[in-house]
Amino acid sequence: MSLTLLSQSLMAAPEGEGGFTPPTVEHSFFFDKIGDGSVIASVKAMVLLVLGTLIIIGFFLAASRKAAMMPGKLQFMGESIYGFVRNGIAIEILGKHGKAWAGFLTTLFVFILIQNLWGIVPIAQLPVTSHFAIPVMLAVLVWLLYMGVGIKKHGLFGFFKLMCYIPGIPVGMHVLLIPIEFLSNIILRPFTLAVRLFANMFAGHMLITVAAVGFLYLLESGNTTQIALSILPGIGSLGLVFFELLIISLQAYVFTLLAAIYLESSLADEH
């Protein structure tokens, strides 16, 4: 949230009441009316989305432009990120298929990480993944790949049998378990993947925003006691920023890890 909008939140209390008006979702996530007002979108989120994508492309182009046996700083950073995802996620989860999927999983990890990081960058202060459309887009992409590679390897019937049929259990149990497995493995996977990323980034951004607004409200109150007390939400907001940095990294890792697990389940030979 920008300082301008923080000030607007502080000034929004009715005159003479001296109350505190907390920031709204519109304040925190920069929703704007486009055209005749019938379309509402976050222009800032779209700008940060494009900018983050360009930064990622530019970084990896620069890191690979002069590849050498003795890597420079950029090449070393690029190779370290790729190596972390390839060895720690792709090969670890997908085994022999890991190298083939390492590039996609690295791109997914870095994209989510950068779009998350906007939430703690001064002036930007908006995690792009806190807009539900972005996690949904990523989850649908993973789901399409997950379905596609599974059907390609096992065939349509074989894939759904792999996902929904559990061998070795009493026949009567299949009446209950097949619908549950179908719902869990085919329907709910993209939904839970998207909601997990969105909810964590949305909640973290709102917590930092509320703490920062409380700090500025007390600091600008003119009351000596309230000014002294402003140190509490000030320290809290600073602590939340460092905590959010951990969540930002963890959510990028978890999303990529789950994507690898889903792909591995599609490529598996049996349930």
**Percent of the chain clearing pLDDT 70 (strictly above):** 84
| Predicted confidence (pLDDT) at residue 3 exceeds the cutoff of 50 | no
| Predicted confidence (pLDDT) at residue 232 exceeds the cutoff of 50 | yes
**pLDDT tens, residue by residue, 172-204:** 888 888 899 899 888 888 899 999 999 999 988
pLDDT class of 69 with cuts at 50, 70, 90: confident
* Helix 43-65 × helix 73-85 angle, to 10°: 110
| Predicted confidence (pLDDT) at residue 32 exceeds the cutoff of 60 | no
| Predicted confidence (pLDDT) at residue 164 exceeds the cutoff of 70 | yes
Residue 96 or 32, more confident: 96
pLDDT class of 134 with cuts at 50, 70, 90: very high
The 10 Å Cβ neighbour count of residue 164 is 19
Helix, strand, coil abundance in the chain, percent, nearest 5: 80, 0, 20
Q: What is the pLDDT of residue 14?
A: 47
Q: What is the pLDDT of residue 52?
A: 95
- Predicted TM-score (pTM) of the model is 0.82
Cβ-based neighbours of 30, under 8 Å, separated by 6 or more:
5, 42, 43, 44, 45, 126
Distance CA 147, CA 258 (A): 14
Please state which of the ranges 32-41, 158-167, 226-235, 254-263 shows the lowest mean pLDDT: 32-41
* Pairing mode, strands 32-34 and 39-41: antiparallel
| Predicted confidence (pLDDT) at residue 1 exceeds the cutoff of 60 | no
For residue 218, give its domain range.
Answer: 3-267
| Predicted confidence (pLDDT) at residue 41 exceeds the cutoff of 60 | no
Domains identified in the chain, total number: 1
Q: How many CA atoms lie within 13 A of 168 on its CB side?
A: 2
How many degrees, rounded to 5, is the angle at CA 147 between CA 141 and CA 148? 85
